[in-house]
Amino acid sequence: MYNWQQQREKKAFLALADGTVYPAWSFGAPADRLGEVVFNTGTPGYEEILTDPSYAGQIVTLTAPEIGNTGFNAQDHESARIRAEGLIVHHYTEPSNWRSERSLAEALTLSGVPGLAGIDTRALTIRLRNAGTPKGYLCATGSITAEEGVRRAREWAGLDNQDYAQKVSTEKPYVFDPDDNLSSAWGLLDGPLPEAEIPIVAYDFGIKFNILRRLRQQGMRVTVVPAKTPAAEVLALNPAGVFLSNGPADPAALSYAIGNIRALIGKLPVMGICLGHQLLGWALGGRTCRLKFGHHGCNHPVKELASGKVEITSQNHNFMVDMASLDTSAVEVTHINLNDNTVEGMRHRREPVFSVQYHPEAAPGPHDSRYLFHQFKKLILTA
């Protein structure tokens, strides 16, 4: 994409609620979007990041300096389409990769999502680290003034107390990969795909395809249900366990999910990740609070307290379970983040229930946490 005049004029911009404005040039959809501006420290995986439903409501700044050279490939999607509100990069490049089906700019355009390039993403990232996650207005059209963009950012409601899970959740229940066409690839199995003998239900608060693949690779037959599915309907499916998925925005806004999870505890083994972990924290009597600038990337060190083992993990969340709010006679903290000592995992001391704050399916990211899906299987078989 070599529109030199557009790049020189920089009529597009990112406006933050504090009045900061970053001039830019646009690629992708000619659209303007509101969102919380976050930075992601991962080097690879922009396709998975953009299609991760957890990024709904967020404008993603990538800290890697050059983005776009691998193009876009449907096999790397983590949901049906791009879910982030917008993308910010330092230097956009056209694809040069044998797997590319279309350029990043074309993929953004097809999803109606704007991108900005030509921004000093180092300066923006430092600003986000120092001042926290701001509300932002991404203007790719150049149709309004920067001052108007700042005003719109300030007036936007933001993500606090907002239920975005319903925006990204499935509308109807479905069985994942009934023909086993999607689960045996990627070179992640040591042998043939096991029989789908363990029926489980996965709540879709913004679930990713690779989570479903990981569960299927453990011999589970996964029925995915909408975020608001009552606990009674889940139990009527007679599953052997329940999985609580990742998802976007504020867990405190999902009172219906908290109630359903509370009703399932003690009846079935439960595993939660990311938003599901936070919802489980509420269901167990705790609460959540906002992190200053969140955890976004595939290089976060997490320590398992029992073994002392450190995992490098993939994460995307702006909220955390407040450790002080947990009843330690019933809930044990199992993992902590080594960057800031926040809760990264917990388990119930008496019931077969556990969760982690990060994304153990790691798409993108390392495979250090794959064992957690086997741990869930073992919990089901021994419950």
Task: Summarize pLDDT for 3-57 with one digit per residue, the tens.
Answer: 667 776 778 999 999 999 999 999 999 999 999 999 999 888 999 999 999 999 9
Q: Pull the structure tokens for residue 313.
A: 């993990």
**Average pLDDT of every residue of the chain:** 95
Predicted confidence at residue 5, as pLDDT, reads 72
Predicted confidence at residue 43, as pLDDT, reads 83
Number of domains in the chain: 2
Choice between 371 and 191, residue whose per-residue pLDDT is larger: 371
- Does any domain span residue 215? yes
Q: Are residues 266 and 221 in the same domain?
A: yes
Would you call the peptide bond into 194 cis, given omega within 30 degrees of 0 as the criterion? no
Q: Are residues 181 and 263 in the same domain?
A: yes
Q: Are residues 56 and 77 in the same domain?
A: yes
The pTM for the full model equals 0.95
Q: Are residues 191 and 334 in the same domain?
A: yes
- Does any domain span residue 347? yes
CATH number, residue 131: 3.50.30.20
Q: Are residues 56 and 177 in the same domain?
A: no
Q: Is the pLDDT of residue 188 over 60?
A: no
What would the mean pLDDT of 306-327 be, rounded to a whole number? 96
Predicted confidence at residue 377, as pLDDT, reads 98
Q: Is the pLDDT of residue 339 over 70?
A: yes
- Does any domain span residue 160? no
Q: Are residues 181 and 214 in the same domain?
A: yes
Query: What is the identity of the amino acid at 345?
Result: G
Q: The dihedral of CA 343, 344, 349, 353: what is its sign?
A: positive
Q: Is residue 274 annotated as part of the catalytic site, yes or no?
A: yes
Q: Pull the structure tokens for residue 212.
A: 């479903």
What would the mean pLDDT of 292-299 be, rounded to a whole number? 94
Q: Are residues 313 and 368 in the same domain?
A: yes
Predicted confidence at residue 192, as pLDDT, reads 83
CA distances, 325 to each of 106, 285, 328 (Å): 46, 8, 9
Lowest mean pLDDT among 33-37, 347-351, 363-367: 363-367
Out of 155, 179, 203, pick the residue that ends a domain.
Answer: 155
Residue with structure tokens 């919990």?
379
What would the mean pLDDT of 279-290 be, rounded to a whole number? 97
Q: Are residues 125 and 198 in the same domain?
A: no
The residue among 41, 40, 45, 115 whose CA lies nearest residue 85 is 115
Q: Are residues 251 and 284 in the same domain?
A: yes
Taking the C-alpha atoms of 276, 360, 48 and 298 in order, what is their torsion angle to the nearest 10 degrees? 110
Q: Is the pLDDT of residue 187 over 60?
A: no
Among 77, 90, 300, 359, the active-site one is 359
Among 78, 311, 344, 361, the active-site one is 361
- Does any domain span residue 359? yes
Q: Are 138 and 32 in contact (CB under 8 A)?
A: yes
What would the mean pLDDT of 294-315 be, rounded to a whole number? 96
Give helix then strand counts, H and E, for the chain: 11, 19
Supply φ then ψ for residue 68, to 5 degrees.
125, -15
The residue among 37, 39, 49 whose CA lies nearest residue 365 is 49
Out of 122, 155, 188, pick the residue that ends a domain.
Answer: 155
Give tens-digit pLDDT for 208-242.
Answer: 999 999 999 999 999 999 999 999 999 999 999 99
Q: Is the pLDDT of residue 275 over 60?
A: yes
Q: Are 22 and 124 in contact (CB under 8 A)?
A: yes
Question: In sequence order, what are the residues at sequence separation of 6 or more whose Cβ sits closer than 8 angstroms to the Cβ of residue 9?
Answer: 25
Among 274, 295, 296, 300, the active-site one is 274
* N-terminal to C-terminal alpha carbon distance within the chain: 56
How far apart CA 57 and CA 195 sit, in angstroms, is 38
CA distances, 201 to each of 207, 319, 354 (Å): 12, 25, 16
Q: Pull the structure tokens for residue 225.
A: 């249900």
Predicted confidence at residue 2, as pLDDT, reads 56
Q: Are residues 229 and 122 in the same domain?
A: no
Q: Is residue 139 annotated as part of the catalytic site, yes or no?
A: no
Q: Are residues 294 and 368 in the same domain?
A: yes
| Burial of 23 per CB tally in 10 Å (0-12, 13-18, 19+) | middle
- Does any domain span residue 236? yes
- Integer-rounded Cα Rg, in Å, for the chain is 21
What would the mean pLDDT of 96-119 be, rounded to a whole number? 96
Q: Are 14 and 37 in contact (CB under 8 A)?
A: yes
Q: Are residues 216 and 309 in the same domain?
A: yes
Out of 124, 155, 186, pick the residue that ends a domain.
Answer: 155
Q: Are 264 and 234 in contact (CB under 8 A)?
A: yes
Give tens-digit pLDDT for 56-71.
Answer: 999 999 999 999 999 9
Q: Is residue 359 annotated as part of the catalytic site, yes or no?
A: yes
Q: Which residues pair with 67 in a beta bridge?
A: 92
| Residues of the domain holding 321 | 165-382
CATH number, residue 321: 3.40.50.880
Q: Are 135 and 17 in contact (CB under 8 A)?
A: yes
